[in-house]
Amino acid sequence: MNAAVQFVHDQLTTKKQFPKFKAGDNVTVNYKIIEGGKERIQGFRGDVVKIQGEGATTTFTVRKISDSIGVERVFPFFSPNIDAIILNKVGKVRRSKLYYLRERSGKSARIKEKRMK
């Protein structure tokens, strides 16, 4: 009986399908903003600095440069406010936490793009 209830619950709750991404990838996160009674979707495009946590508490941090100021934003993976995640570029990095980007600016802050064969 419990398995049947779980099956029906899984069918009714829609799980959003997001692309697989990792640190160094350039993504656009479209998230819902509620201002008063209005609701709109705004995009946040930047590089993924880190992915942390496990299960329902998984979060990822996206960093972008806005008017020559670095802006980082943490998004919960399973937030109902995230509308879509679009993978723009796949980065070529050798570590999972890119904290060194915080001290860099200009050309040295670039991430090379991984070439697809």
CATH of the domain at 42: 2.30.30.790
At 12-24, the pLDDT tens digits run 666 678 899 999 9
Q: Is residue 117 part of a domain?
A: no
Q: Is residue 60 part of a domain?
A: yes
> HSE on the CB side for 103, CA within 13 Å?
3
Q: Is residue 114 part of a domain?
A: no
Supply the pLDDT for residue 115.
83
Q: Is residue 100 part of a domain?
A: no
Residue partners of 32: CB distance under 8 A and separation at least 6: 39, 40, 41, 81, 82, 83
Which domain does 64 fall in, by range? 15-92
At 26-80, the pLDDT tens digits run 999 999 999 989 999 999 999 999 999 988 899 999 999 998 889 999 999 888 8
Q: Is residue 97 part of a domain?
A: no
Domain count, the chain: 1
